[in-house]
Structure formats: structure tokens, C-alpha cells
Structure 1
Amino acid sequence: MNGVEAFLLGRTLMKIGEQAMPGPKSGPAGPVRSVVVVLGDIVSHPGTTVGEIAARTSLPQSQVSTAVARLEQAGSVDTEPDPADRRRRLIRPTAEPSARVTEVRATTIDEALAAALTGPDGTAPTPDTVREVTAALDLLARRLTPSVTAR
């Protein structure tokens, strides 16, 4: 596998993940990708600021601010004033997962994965194929977490 193939595989996996995630119970759906990227950064760097997240993720600061607001509304993150600069807010994951976080974590990718594995002629994947790909994804998830790739 080369870098382009790895990049394209990553984009395909992101799309499968997005399709599998349950929509929000209230408010506009909005882009999921930036919210997940921002949350991943906050989990890896608790006590961070919007500007720091924007610098690490290369997302525009306005998009990071919107994502943080959505995460705070969903009960996924807490914010507090930065003691060093009261104009900034420090962002960290909540101590206990919210109902929304619990719901998202409990949702599997099974249906979205089966749809992605469906042949161009509409042929559904075999149960063995789904199990094989799921096992490969489980291995990748264990070996390539965000903290591993940040090194």
C-alpha cells in the first residue's frame, strides 16, 4: 500500500463512520467530520484552547468554535476560563460520558460497512467477508489510535 492508497482508504473509512453515526436528537445536523476531529483533539489534549485545536487540526478557528459549541451542548466537553488569560476558554472532555456520547459509542458500523462492501451489481457481501473486514478494522483500531499517530 502506498501513501495515496492509505489516504483514500482513510477517507472511505471516514465516510463509513459518518454514515453509521446516529444523527443529533435536536438542532441542525451540521458537518460531523469537523466535530469528530475536534473531539479527538480535545481527548488527546485536555485543557486546550480553540486556537490550539485550530493549529493542530488545520481547521479554521470559526469551525473549531462551532464544533466546540456543539460538543458542549451535547454534554461531551466542559469549558472554563483560562486562569492565565480570562478571554480564552480551556476545553476538556467531560468526566462522565453524556447520553449522546453513550449512544454514539453504542452504534456499530455493521450496516454502513455491509453497504460499502456491496458489489457494483448489488451483490451483498458474505458473512465471512464482513467478519474478515471487521476483524481487520478492529486490529487497525487497536494499533492505530490517535495517540499512536500523534507521535
Structure 2
Amino acid sequence: MNGVELFLLGRTLMKIGEEALPEPPGGADRHAGSARLVLVVASDIAAHPDTAVGEIAARTGLPQSQVSSAVARLKEAGSVRTAPDPADRRRVLVRQTADVSERVAQVRAAGIEDALTIALGSDDPQRLREVSEALDVLARNLLPQPGVLESHRAGIVSPPE
């Protein structure tokens, strides 16, 4: 696989992920760019608890205004909470809430089987299992884990060999 193929695979996986998400309330377009933006911000917050909006913008490459809007939507949905930074009261820190809203629970519980079946053009159980297992391996190895990146950056944990 080369960089172009990896990029195209990533785009295909994003489309499958979008297809797997349940319809938003009120008939909103689930494929809207703002919905993807909120997912990117929510993912970054999950990987980096107690983070500032500016830090999220720096990590994701998104404009700070878009990150602020996404945080506001997540806060309204009950997915995140904000609090002043005790070290610098001018900054606001964002973290996931311990309580999960009904919508967040619905999104997290959404399975990918139907979306994979459509993407593969087949409902062959062996093929679905094989692709699902490959996705599990990728997720286990590539998704950021809370605290791991910070530990590596601080030199607390040795990088994998």
C-alpha cells in the first residue's frame, strides 16, 4: 500500500462510518460537514481530556471558531462539559461528561454491519467477519488512547519498538 491508497482507504472508511451513524434528530443531514467536524472535535476531546479549544484547533488543524462551535454543540448535547483552567482562569478546559446522553449512547451503540454490507456489496458472513476483524486490529493499533500520547511526549513511557 502506498500513501495515495492509504488516503483513499481512509476516505472510504470515513464514508462507511458516516453511513453507520444513526440519523440525527429532526431529519438533519447526517452527512453535513458540520456533523463530521463535531465528530473530529469529540474524538480529539476523548483522546485529550481537560484540553483547551486552542489546543484542539492546533491538533486538528481546524479554525478555532469551528472548534468553538463544535464544542458548543457537544455541550448542548450533554457530551462534554467545560470548566475554567485552574492554572489560567482565562482559558476554558473541555472534557467528556461521565454521564452519557441518549443521543451519545445511540451513536456509540450504532453497529457497522449494515454499512459494511453496503460498502462490500455482499452479505457473506465470512467476508464481513474478516473485514470487521481487520478493522478491530487497525482500531486497536491506530486509534489514540487517552493519556498515551501525552505520556510519550513527556518521555514517561518509552515508544513502542
- Do they superpose with TM above 0.5? yes
TM-score range, shorter chain: 0.7 to 0.9
Q: Does 1:2 align with 2:8?
A: no
- The answer to whether the Cα contact below 8 Å between 1:78 and 1:94 also exists between their aligned partners in 2 is yes
Which TM-score applies when normalising by structure 1?
0.85
Aligned length: 146
For 1:121, the equivalent position in structure 2 comes to: none
Note the aligned Cα RMSD (angstroms).
2.2
For 1:24, the equivalent position in structure 2 comes to: 24
Structure 2 residues not aligned, in runs of 5+: 153-161
Q: Map Cα deviations across residues 72-103 of structure 1 (whole Å, 9 max, x no partner).
A: 11111001123344443211111222222211
SS in 2 for 1:147: coil
For 1:129, the equivalent position in structure 2 comes to: 127
Q: Map Cα deviations across residues 40-94 of structure 1 (whole Å, 9 max, x no partner).
A: 1111211111111101100111111111111111111001123344443211111
Q: Does 1:50 align with 2:38?
A: no
> AA paired with 2:137?
L
Distance in 1, Cα, partners of 2:62 & 2:23: 22
CA distance 1:70–1:135, shift in 2 (3 Å): same
Distance in 2, Cα, partners of 1:96 & 1:28: 24
Question: Identity of aligned pairs, percent?
Answer: 62
Structure 1 residues not aligned, in runs of 5+: 119-123
Q: State the shift of 1:125 in Å.
A: 4.2
For 2:102, the equivalent position in structure 1 comes to: 99
Q: Map Cα deviations across residues 29-49 of structure 1 (whole Å, 9 max, x no partner).
A: 542221111111111211111
